[in-house]
Amino acid sequence: MRAIAYKIPQPISAETSLIDVDLPVPEATGHDLLVEIKAVSVNPVDVKVRAHSAPPADEVKVLGWDAAGIVKAVGPDVTLFKPGDEVYYAGAINRPGTYAEFHLVDERIVGRKPKSLDFAAAAALPLTSITAYEALFDRLKVQDAVPGAARALLVIGGAGGVGSITIQIARALTDLTVIATASRPETQVWVKELGAHHVVDHSKPIAPQVAALGIGAPGFIFSTTNTDSHIPDIVEAIAPQGRFALIDDPKFLDVVPFKRKAVSVHWELMFTRPLFSTPDMIEQHNLLNKVSELVDAGNIRTTLSQNLGAINAANMKKAHSMVESGRMKGKAVLLGF
């Protein structure tokens, strides 16, 4: 089968940073589905792994943690899907990725593809939807009010992949007032179109802008990028006893300033459930199906912003370069081999 891989970590500009390869088609066992990949999207985790994680000597590593496709075969323990089903999912970081014609994935982290979306539009959603949903309801527990705080959520980095779907899920499933940060005119328009009630500019001090909205201190803040540079503003803006979640990887994160307000700090990693095969791993199947229902009901739209063409090394290099720029709006997708 055709796949895209790499042998050594290199800058994306290197000729062999990503290469087209041929690999054997894997076989479905246990709870695995063998999925024929129709579309993939690219996330910051793809870029981070490519730049820093070396495969064993003389081996190649296949990236990719977002896909939409068709089930071709199932393992003997599978009960949730059958061959022919259209699915979407993000996979597991400790297994080969989705930049391949065929891919193995545990059925318990797979959802039914939204019927109203084509494969490209669906592939833009899984990883960010899981991240947003888990951050909101498992980490921040936005369903539980913070005493005295505004029923408000501040999303830092609102125009990125995770921010774009977080805004929509929060609007569709909660009564929260959603404040999103965006610094460019086009991204400010984007987050408003997605449902943000208010937009503030993260290239300027955030806390004074939030205070100027006159809605009170938000009980919840979710930071998707550049968290370390925003900590003073987050500490100032959040309500006492509020809840703060983040997903990026600051080299240094000083949480001591949160102590005075008794703010709880939560790290969200959507790979944790599949990585450790947690007893509640099937919750990712459930939440992806919920997102599908919301999409098909017209309550959530895809965050696909660019289709870069066929799944091959040359186009994938373009996608990685776009993600590395840090100026993405929504998600970039590749469709078909």
Task: Give the range of the structural domain holding residue 205, as residue numbers without chain letter.
Answer: 140-267
Q: Tell me: the pLDDT tens digits for 58-71? A: 899 999 999 999 99
Is residue 149 domain-shared with residue 210, that is, in the same domain? yes
Give domain status of residue 133, yes or no.
no
Mean residue pLDDT of the chain comes to 96
Pairing of strands 331-335, 32-41: antiparallel
Q: Would you list the DSSP string of 273-305?
A: HHHHT-TTTTHHHHHHHHHHHHHHTTSS---EE
Buried b (16+ CB within 10 A) or exposed e, 99-137: bbbbbbbbbbbbbbbbeebebbbbbbbbbbbbbbbbbbb
Is residue 150 domain-shared with residue 263, that is, in the same domain? yes
CATH of the domain at 216: 3.40.50.720
Is residue 61 domain-shared with residue 83, that is, in the same domain? yes
Of all residues in the chain, what percent carry a pLDDT higher than 70?
A: 100
Report the pLDDT averaged over residues 174-202: 97
Give the C-alpha separation, 180 to 164, whole Å: 9
Give domain status of residue 58, yes or no.
yes
Give domain status of residue 155, yes or no.
yes
Is residue 62 domain-shared with residue 90, that is, in the same domain? yes
Q: What is the pLDDT of residue 164?
A: 94
Q: Tell me: the pLDDT tens digits for 293-328? A: 999 999 999 999 899 999 999 999 999 999 998 887
Tokens representing 294?
A: 């919301």
Give the C-alpha separation, 174 to 151, whole Å: 10
- Among 267, 300, 320, the domain-final residue is 267
Is residue 150 domain-shared with residue 57, that is, in the same domain? no
Residue found by looking up tokens 């039914």 in the block: 112
SS3 state of residue 156: strand
Q: What is the pLDDT of residue 329?
A: 84
- Dihedral pair phi/psi, residue 134, rounded to 5°: -65, -40
Q: Tell me: the pLDDT tens digits for 228-284? A: 999 999 999 999 999 999 999 999 999 999 999 999 999 999 999 999 999 999 999
281 vs 52, 68, 131, CA distance in Å? 27, 20, 14
Give the C-alpha separation, 88 to 102, whole Å: 13
Q: What is the pLDDT of residue 327?
A: 80
Is residue 12 domain-shared with residue 109, that is, in the same domain? yes
Q: What is the pLDDT of residue 328?
A: 78
Give the C-alpha separation, 317 to 45, whole Å: 14
Give domain status of residue 134, yes or no.
no
Is residue 205 domain-shared with residue 179, that is, in the same domain? yes
Is residue 154 domain-shared with residue 211, that is, in the same domain? yes
Q: What is the pLDDT of residue 237?
A: 98
Give domain status of residue 199, yes or no.
yes
Give the C-alpha separation, 260 to 248, whole Å: 24
Neighbouring C-beta atoms of residue 185, cutoff 10 Å: 8
Is residue 253 domain-shared with residue 280, that is, in the same domain? no
Cα 112 from chain centroid (whole Å): 17
CATH of the domain at 326: 3.90.180.10
Give domain status of residue 135, yes or no.
no
Beta-ladder partners of 40: 67, 334
SS3 state of residue 153: strand
Is residue 197 domain-shared with residue 252, that is, in the same domain? yes
Give the C-alpha separation, 118 to 182, whole Å: 28
Of all residues in the chain, what percent carry a pLDDT higher than 90?
A: 96
Give the C-alpha separation, 83 to 292, whole Å: 19
* In contact, 42 and 74? CB cutoff 8 Å: no
Q: What is the pLDDT of residue 330?
A: 86
Give the C-alpha separation, 179 to 202, whole Å: 11
- Among 241, 267, 293, the domain-final residue is 267
150 vs 145, 213, 219, CA distance in Å? 9, 11, 6
What is this structure's pTM?
0.95
* In contact, 202 and 184? CB cutoff 8 Å: no
Is residue 253 domain-shared with residue 209, that is, in the same domain? yes
Amino acid identity at 133 = Y
Q: Tell me: the pLDDT tens digits for 107-121? A: 999 999 999 999 999
* DSSP 8-state code for residue 139: I
- Among 240, 267, 294, the domain-final residue is 267
Give domain status of residue 63, yes or no.
yes
Q: Looking at the 3D structure of the chain, how many domains does it have?
A: 2
Is residue 305 domain-shared with residue 188, that is, in the same domain? no
Give domain status of residue 303, yes or no.
yes
* In contact, 40 and 76? CB cutoff 8 Å: no
